[in-house]
Amino acid sequence: MKTRDLIIGIVILVVALLLFWKSGQEMTEKRPVVVVYVSEDRVFSEPILKDFEKETGITVKAVYDTEEAKSTGVMNRLIAEKSNPQADVYWANEPIRAEILKQKGVSAPYLSPNAKEIPKIFKDPDGFWTGFSARARVLIVNSGINERPESILAYTETRWRGKSVIANPLFGTTTAHIAALFTYWGDDRADAFMRAMKRNGVALSTSNGESADFVAAGRYAFSLVDSDDAVNRIRQGRPVTMVYPDQKPDEPGCFIVPNAVLLIKGAPHPKEARRLVDYLLSKETEHKLAFADCAQIPLHPDVEIPEELQPIDTIRIMQVDYAKVAAKLLEIQPYLKRWVSE
């Protein structure tokens, strides 16, 4: 009798466990989902997406760019999936690729209520992408030099001959910055600047980070880098200062590289996608990214920032159309390849 009762008890327990497992599976299947492709560094973007999950109950399925295919891997995947979209949202680490996706018909317009206070220059007028949490292109300067450069034109001045370094302009934000100069100055003046920089003995590094390390080590006097590269070296106690370049009224201003977020056309989960876009464009997200190691500059007014950063409304910004910068970036690729190899 005891054996029979034991068997019955085991059967009841197994049935209960199966019912519990099935119930859990159904709850998981019913839980809302959003799929996001991400070009921003995973170490900075993943905590934001985890917070979104906790606060909304929406499961985030994220696909991150690899370091080898930074900013282009998931963009090319989105283009390939255009007729059968798998992603709902794209979080780009700069607006150039977002603009390319707009031009290729991959993105859909969405004017988030959280975008109202973001300056017009940092968002597509029709809502195909919106910028947030930016990096500034700044000069990192070794503290041991007697005077510091205040303009990117220092690259062409004889007093800095052989004393400057810049990241290879075929890659990353340096490419975007050069493309912005071509749209701001025009082809002839930008070409003259590039040639003068080469004649003045500028050195090439593999990345902004390497440039910043070279300056911190005293190998070069200054370099044009992203603001997070400069802030990180300052926080490490390295002997460097950061200069927002070209701040006088007759100068071009500082080139700003915001993150950009966009909704995918035909997104499988459009409701959840809009909620994620709203979340990324919130002041709370910008505050988190400002105080993370990436030290990004909020585009909303009145968001607290670390002492090393300058509020966006106090920076003289280079006035460029990011759509034109995107087109110019593609156009000047052969020119930049020749410039690097000369």
Give the CATH number for residue 157.
Answer: 3.40.190.10
* Within-domain flag for 19: no
Cα 289 from Cα 231, distance rounded (Å): 13
CB burial of residue 338 (10 Å; 0-12, 13-18, 19+):
exposed
For residues 79 and 180, membership in a common domain is answered with no
For residues 165 and 179, membership in a common domain is answered with yes
* Within-domain flag for 8: no
* Within-domain flag for 267: yes
For residues 144 and 229, membership in a common domain is answered with yes
For residues 234 and 262, membership in a common domain is answered with no
* Within-domain flag for 184: yes
pTM: 0.87
Torsion of CA 204, 210, 216, 219, to 10 degrees: -40
* Within-domain flag for 21: no
**What is the extent of the structural domain holding 170?**
135-255+332-341
For residues 155 and 211, membership in a common domain is answered with yes
For residues 59 and 187, membership in a common domain is answered with no
For residues 115 and 179, membership in a common domain is answered with no
> Into how many domains does the chain fold?
2
For residues 234 and 85, membership in a common domain is answered with no
State residue 342's pLDDT score: 86
Which residues, at least 6 apart from 179, have a Cβ–Cβ distance to it below 8 Å? 96, 325, 326, 328, 329, 332
CB burial of residue 68 (10 Å; 0-12, 13-18, 19+):
exposed
For residues 336 and 217, membership in a common domain is answered with yes
* Within-domain flag for 11: no
* Within-domain flag for 15: no
For residues 120 and 266, membership in a common domain is answered with yes
State residue 57's pLDDT score: 97
For residues 275 and 246, membership in a common domain is answered with no
* Within-domain flag for 162: yes
State residue 68's pLDDT score: 43
Q: What is the pLDDT along the chain (342 residues), one digit of tens a residue?
A: 456 666 665 656 655 565 555 544 444 457 899 999 999 999 999 999 999 999 999 999 999 986 444 555 788 999 999 999 999 999 999 999 899 999 999 999 999 999 999 999 999 999 999 999 999 999 999 999 999 999 999 999 999 999 999 999 998 899 999 999 999 999 999 999 999 999 999 999 999 999 999 999 999 999 999 999 999 999 999 999 999 999 999 999 999 999 999 999 999 999 999 999 999 999 999 999 999 999 999 999 999 999 999 999 999 999 999 999 999 999 999 999 999 998
For residues 153 and 184, membership in a common domain is answered with yes
